[in-house]
Structure 1
């Protein structure tokens, strides 16, 4: 199954294509990780699939191995930032859950204490 066609205005697809600059901290065959422009923690990195799916659920249904790759990339980012296995991984799926860019992405947050429940 191939990924659906991405909307022409997808900012994350433009980052993957190199059309928009980002502070890339990790790349793999299936994922790109870059620093969030509005960090919510000392480490706040977005890990995105190179393929375009609207959200994590759609990505998992179509490319479950890519979801595992995103988590592996997130682990590499956390290790590179010295988070010593103390970090949070977050997928927001849908506007009501806080998703603002409708290209599946995983937030890596760390470097400070996290509260529960989140926001």
Structure 2
């Protein structure tokens, strides 16, 4: 499934359900702006998703509509999780997919934190 980032927010997406507590997650961090949890299908030794608590479809939607406080809180949460998980010293990858061609599968803004070992090339062609 691919996401059309121009469509309205779908409050029945899996991340919205996780935020409402309808679906459990393996939480690693939470504050008033963000929630971070382990991906259920990890693509690296460490694979954590960080999502904002607001109703944003994509990075584009978030950057256009979120308040300065939401943006700062989300960015700080991503950095906090990376530091807390020990990813900064050895390096990590931060990935945000937007839309169909970007490979976005869930219509709620999220970033992937990958780490724990060598990650290989950025894009396979």
C-alpha deviation, 1:6, in angstroms: 4.2
TM-score (norm 2): 0.82
Aligned length: 115
Contact 2:9 2:107 in 1 (8 A): no
Gaps of 5+ in 1: none
Q: Deviations over 1:72-106 (max 9, x none)?
A: 21222222222234111111000211100010001
TM-score (norm 1): 0.86
Gaps of 5+ in 2: 1-7
Return the structure number with greater relative CO, CA threshold 8 A, min gap 6. 2
Q: Does 1:109 align with 2:114?
A: yes
Q: Tell me which residue corresponds to 2:48.
A: 45
Contact 1:70 1:106 in 2 (8 A): no
Runs of 4+ in 1 over 6 A off after TM superposition: none
Question: Equivalents in 2 of 1:84, 1:63: separation in Å?
Answer: 27
Q: 1:99 aligns with which of 82, 100, 104?
A: 104
Aligned CA-pair RMSD: 1.7
Contact 1:31 1:49 in 2 (8 A): yes
Question: Equivalents in 2 of 1:12, 1:61: separation in Å?
Answer: 20
